[in-house]
Structure 1
Amino acid sequence: MLNGGGAPVDGGTLKMSMSADPLCLDPHAISADTEQILGQLQFDNLTYLGKNGAPSPWLATSWTISPDGRTYRFTLKKGVTFADGTAFDAHAVVVNFEHMLAPKTRSPLAGPYIAPYDSSEVIDDHTLEVHLKTPYSPFLSVLAQGWLGMESPKAIQRDTPAELCAHPVGSGPFKLAKYTPNVGASYVRRDDYDWAPPALGQTGPAHLAGVDLSWIGQDPVRYNSLVSGQYQLSAYVPPQNGAALAANDQFVYENVNRIGWPFTLDFNTSRAPLNDVDVRTALVRGVDTKAIVQTSQFGQRPTADSYLDSVTAFYDPSAKLPGYAPAAAGALLDKAGWKTKNAAGFRTRNGKELALSLPVSNATTVSPVYDLLQAQLKKIGVNLKIDLQPQTQVTTLRYKGDYDLLSGVWHTNTPDVLYIKYASSQISDSKHLGQNLARLSDPALDKTLQEARETTDRTKLTALYSTAQKQLVAGVPGLPIYQNTVLWAFNKKLHNVVVNTSHGTPLLTYAWLSR
C-alpha cells in the first residue's frame, strides 16, 4: 500500500488523467492498457494475484483442478450483485466466458486468453465446473486481469456490442455514470459493495465518492495538469517528467517493471523485405537501442535485449539478441542483395529502395523513439517511413497485414505472453484481431509454446520457455527496445493506493482523499 496511514475519510471525487481513450469500455472487446486500471474500478474478477504472484480468491472463493488439468471446479462468492441488480452466479460466469469467445465480440485479448475453454457445467448457483480442451497452466492467472472482469449477464444478452462499449455493467466498487468518447468518463461509488478480494484485507464499499477520468493525449498537458493540482492521479507519466516527480515531495511516483513483452518494433515476416532473416538481423545489429532508450526514456526504463521482460517468470538471461554492430548490419544487407545505394543514400536492390512503412497512431503524443529509429536506420541505408494515421486506420492495416513494421508493448501476468505474441494462431485475419503482429509462422515454436501451456511442472516450464526464447532470438521477429515499465504518480492527498499485482498499476478500491 502506498501513502498509507491515518484514518480513512469517506467522500471526495478523485480526478484522474490517462493518455488515450480506447473508444470502448467493454473489457472483453478491447486490448487497451487503460483497462488495467478502469477494469478494476468497475468490474471484479474470479481471481486476484497475491503478493507472491500466485492466484488467490476473489469472486471465486476456492477451486479444485482435475489431475489431467482440464477441469476446474469453482466455488463462487454469494451475495454479489452487478450494478443493474443482477445476481452474480454460475450462470453469469458462463455468459461471460461465452461473450469473451463470441465472434461478434471480436475480442483481441480476453477471448485469446481463454481460448482453451470448451464448456461449463452449472452444478448449482454457486458451483461451476469449467472444462478446457487442453490443459492450460496460465488459466487462473489470466482470470485476474482487468480485461477478464465479470459483466452483467443481463447487459451482455440485451445490448449490442456498441451499447456494451458505451455503457458496460460490472459488479465492481464503482459504476459507470457517464462516458464521453475522447473526453472522459465518470464513475460513482456503489454503496452496497462488499466483496473486494480478501488479499486487500478490507471490506465494505469504497471510500471515494467517485472517480472522474479525463483523456489527455498530449504529454506536457497531462504532466502540467497533474503538478498544478487539476488532477490528483496521472495513470501514465511521460518519462521526461519522471525524475522531477520523483524529487517532488508532494507526489508519490511509481516506476514498476512488469511481467510481459517489452516495447518492440515488430517485423512483418510474412512479406518482403522482412521475410528475409538476414534483413531482420541487420535491423537489430544496426540500431543502438541503448542510445535510443537513454535519449527517449530519460533513464526511466531499462533497455530490452530479448523478447521477455526480465521480471517475467522463466526469463532466460542467456537468450539475448546480438548487440549493436553497424558494420555487421551492412554486411548482412550486402549478403541479402541490398548492395547499391540511390542518391538519397538508401540501399537498393534491382532498382527498388529498401524502404519500410511504420503506421503510427496520431491520437497521442508521437514517441521520440520513431524519429531516433529513423535516423539510425538511415545510417545503414534503410528508409524508415513513419506513417501517422488515425487509430482506426492503424487497426485496419493490422487486420490486413498491410505494413512492414508495427510497434508496441504487451503486458500480461504470465510468460504465456510469448504465445499471444508469436503463436501462428494469433495472426490477425478478417475475423480475428490477433496479437502476432510479426505474422510469424514457426511450427517448431508453436509446438514449444503449446507444450508450455499444457504443463504446470516448473522444471519443464523452465526448459520450454528457455527454448522458446532461443527460438525467437534465432528467428528475429522484432527489435526489442525497452522493458515494459509503467510510470504513474499521484498527489499525496490521495492515500491507501495499492499496486495491482497483475498489472503494476494503481488499484483504488480503498483509496481515499484527505480534505
Structure 2
Amino acid sequence: MIKKQGLRTAIMALAVAGGAFMASPAWAAGTMTISSPQDPGSWDPVDTFLVNWASVATNIYDGLTYRGPDTKLVPGLATSWETLDDGKRIRFKLREGVKFHDGEPFNAEAVKFTFDRLMGPEGSKGPQKSNYASIDHVEVIDDNTVDFHLKQPDPVLLTKLAGYGAMIVPPKYIAEHGEDYFNTHPVGTGPFKFVSYEPKVGIKLEKFDGFWGDKAKLDHLNYRFISEPSTAVAELQAGRVDLVIPPTIPIGMIPTIKGDPNLDVVTSPSPTVYALRFNTKNGITKDVKVRKALIYGVDRQAIIDSILGGEASPIASFQGKLSFGYDPSMKPLPYDPAKAKELLKEAGVQPGAPVQIDIRGNDATFNEVVQAVASYLQIVGINATIKPYETNVLLNDIIPKGKTGAMFQQSWGGWTLDFDNTAYFMYHTGEKWNPYDSDPKMDEMLESQRAITDRAKREEILRNIANYAADRALEMPLYNLNAIFGISKRVKNFTPAPDSRLRLNEVSVD
C-alpha cells in the first residue's frame, strides 16, 4: 500500500498544481473523474496520433463509422455506405438532424470540409494525412449524401473513418474562430461537449443534450493529466479519481489497487505493443549483425514473467494477435548470449561499447523493463545507458527529428487492428516514426498492399513485411501488453476498450 504521508503529499501537490480541476471531488453527483497520463497539446483531430487524445476525444467527436469495444464496425454519422466503381468510390448516406455542439448543422458540406482540410495544408502539419492518402477527393451529392473518390481501393478505410484524423469537424466554427482557437476549444457532434481546458492540468466536458444517439448518463467528465503513476494511484485510492487509463498502472501496483475494497482492476486484450527500435543510420546499430546481437542478448520471456506479471505476451514482430497481418508461425529470436557475443565480435564491436536507450520518463513499468534490458546487455559486453524524456519531447522532437540514441522506446496501439497502420508509419521512407531507414523493397511492399482488396493476398504481403522487418532487425520486439484500468467500484457499466478509445455515454456513477 502507498504510505499515508506519500499519499497526502501527492494530493497536496496536485491541489496546488490542479487549480480548478481539483475543486470538485470525483464523487460529485453525475461527475466522473479520469486520470490520463498525457496532455496531447491539441484537440484538433488532424494534429494527433495519441491514444490519450482518443480516450478523451472519442466523447467529443464522431466519425462516419464507429468501432466500439467489441471491435465491430457500425454506422456513425453515416447510416449506410456502398462501394462502387470496383472499390474506387464509396457513397455514404449521412445521418439527418445532427448538430454540432455550437448548433451548426452536420451535413455533406461538413464532411467535405473535414477531408479537404485533412488532405490539405492544415492536415500536412500533422501526422494523420498519410493514413488517408487513398482519398482523392470528396464530392457532395446532396445535403445527406457524399461520394469518396479514391486514388485506389483502400481495404482499411472504413475502419480509419472511425477515429483520429477522420473525426468530423464544424466548418463555420473553424472559419469564425481560427485554427489555433479550435486546437484548444474543440467542437464535435459527440455525446459530451467541451467546457474548459487547462494545458498540462486537465480538460472538462459536459453532457450534450442534443446528441443524436444514446444520451450520456453522466453530467460531467473531468479529465486530469497525471503523468506520475504513483500519484495517479494515490488519487484513485483517495477517491479523487474514478478511473486510471492505460498505460499508467504499473504492474507492481495492481495488488495495491485490488487490495482496496473500493477499487478494482479491469484488463482487456489490447493491440498495444512495445519495442526498442534501432537507429539504423548511425553508430554500431547501423550494422544488422549488431542489432540481431542485441536482440539475442535479452531474455524477453524472463522480463515478461518477472516484471509484467502475466499481463503481456511475447511478440516476434511489431504487432499482437489482434492485428490483421499477424503471422503465428513467426517466432521471436531466442535468448542466446553466446550467439550475441559471437555476432558482436564478428561486427568488430569492442567489449564495453556504449549504447544509449531513450525512453518515456513517466512510464514506470517500461522503466523497469528497460533496466532489465540494460542488465542483459551488460552481460554480453554492451554498456547501455538509459535516457528518459518527457513524453511529448520524445515523441514530437527526439524521435521524428532523428536525435535518438542507438535504441529508443516505441509503443504503438495499432488501433485499426491492421498491420498497415503500424508498418507504414514505422518502416516507409520519410514517415515521422521512421527517421533513419530507407528501403525501396520495404516501400514497394507497403505501397502494394494498400490497393489490394483480396484479404488473403493482402495478408500474405503484410506477413512478408513483418518477416522482412524481423530479418533486418529494425527493432527489438518486446511484448504485447494488456490494457490495464484502475477503477472505482462506484463506476457502473464500464466496458474497457482494447484500444483505450473510451466512449462513456453509457457509464454512470453511484
User: TM-score, normalised on structure 2?
Assistant: 0.87
Q: Which has the higher helix share?
A: 2
CA distance in 2, matches of 1:399, 1:104: 19
Which secondary structure state, in structure 2, belongs to the residue aligned with residue 464 of structure 1?
A: helix
Q: Residues 314 and 480 of structure 2 are in contact (CA less than 8 Å); yes or no, is this contact kept in structure 1?
A: yes
CA deviation string 1:427-457 (max 9, x = no partner): 34xxxxx2235x3322222222223221222
Instruction: Tell me the residue number matched to 1:350.
Output: none
Alignment-derived partner of residue 91 in structure 1: 109
Partner of residue 389, structure 1: 389
Q: Which digits, 9 at most, give the CA deviation of each residue in 1:52-105, with x for residues without a partner?
A: 644221101111112422211111101111111111111111221233233444
In 1: Cα distance, 2:330 partner to 2:437 partner: 18
Amino acid corresponding to residue 291 of structure 1 in structure 2: A
Residue of structure 2 equivalent to 1:377: 377
Match of 2:252 in 1: 240
Separation (CA, whole Å) in 2 of partners of 1:128 and 1:120: 7
Query: Normalising by structure 1, what TM-score?
Result: 0.86
Q: 2:239 pairs with 229, 238, 258, which one?
A: 229
Structure 1 runs not aligned, ≥5 long: 1-9, 196-202, 347-353, 429-433
Q: Does 1:456 align with 2:456?
A: no
* Aligned 8 A contact 1:20 1:363 in 2: no
1:407-427 CA-to-partner distances (Å, cap 9, x unmatched) read 1211122221343333424x3
Alignment of 1:89-128 (within 5 A): 89-106=107-124, 108-128=126-146
Cross-structure match for 1:259: 271
Question: 2:51·2:500 contact (CA, 8 Å) conserved in 1?
Answer: no
Which blocks of at least 5 consecutive residues in structure 2 are unaligned? 1-27
Change in CA separation of 1:39 and 1:483 when aligned onto 2, cut-off 3 Å: same
Distance 1:52 1:229, change over 3 A: closer
Task: Report if the CA contact (8 A) 1:420-1:435 is conserved.
Answer: no
Deviation digits for residues 170-200 of structure 1 (CA, Å, limit 9, x no counterpart) = 11111111111111111111111123xxxxx
Match of 1:406 among 397, 400, 408: 408
AA partner of residue 87 (structure 1): P
Deviation at 1:43, TM superposition (A): 0.9
Matched ranges for 1:29-428 at <5 A: 29-49=47-67, 53-106=71-124, 108-195=126-213, 203=214, 205-236=215-246, 237-246=249-258, 250-259=262-271, 262-338=273-349, 340-341=350-351, 346=352, 354-362=353-361, 365=364, 367-391=367-391, 393-394=393-394, 395-403=396-404, 404-411=406-413, 412-413=415-416, 414-425=418-429, 427-428=430-431
Residue of structure 1 equivalent to 2:22: none
160-169 or 477-486: which moved more?
160-169
Instruction: Say which is worse superposed, 147-156 or 86-95, in terms of deviation.
Output: 147-156
CA contact (8 A) 2:412 2:422 kept: no
Indicate the residue corresponding to 1:351 in structure 2.
none
Q: Return 88-97 or 232-241, whichever deviates more.
A: 232-241
| Alpha-carbon distance, 1:13 to partner | 0.8
Number of residues of Structure 1 aligned to a counterpart in Structure 2: 476
Structure 2 residue aligned with 1:4: none
**How far, CA to CA, are the matches of 1:409 and 1:47 in structure 2?**
26
Distance 1:375 1:360 in 2: 16
Contact 1:19 1:364 in 2 (8 A): no
Distance 1:43 1:291 in 2: 42
Task: Give the fraction of aligned pairs with identical amino acids, expressed as a percent.
Answer: 27
Distance (whole Å) between structure 2 residues aligned to residue 52 and residue 388 of structure 1: 35
CA distance in 2, matches of 1:185, 1:293: 35
Does the residue aligned with 2:137 lie in a helix, a strand or coil? strand
CA RMSD of aligned residues (A): 2.4
Deviations 1:362-395 (A, max 9, x none): 4565722222222221222222232233445432
Post-superposition shift, 1:226? 1.1
Map of 1:489 onto structure 2: 486
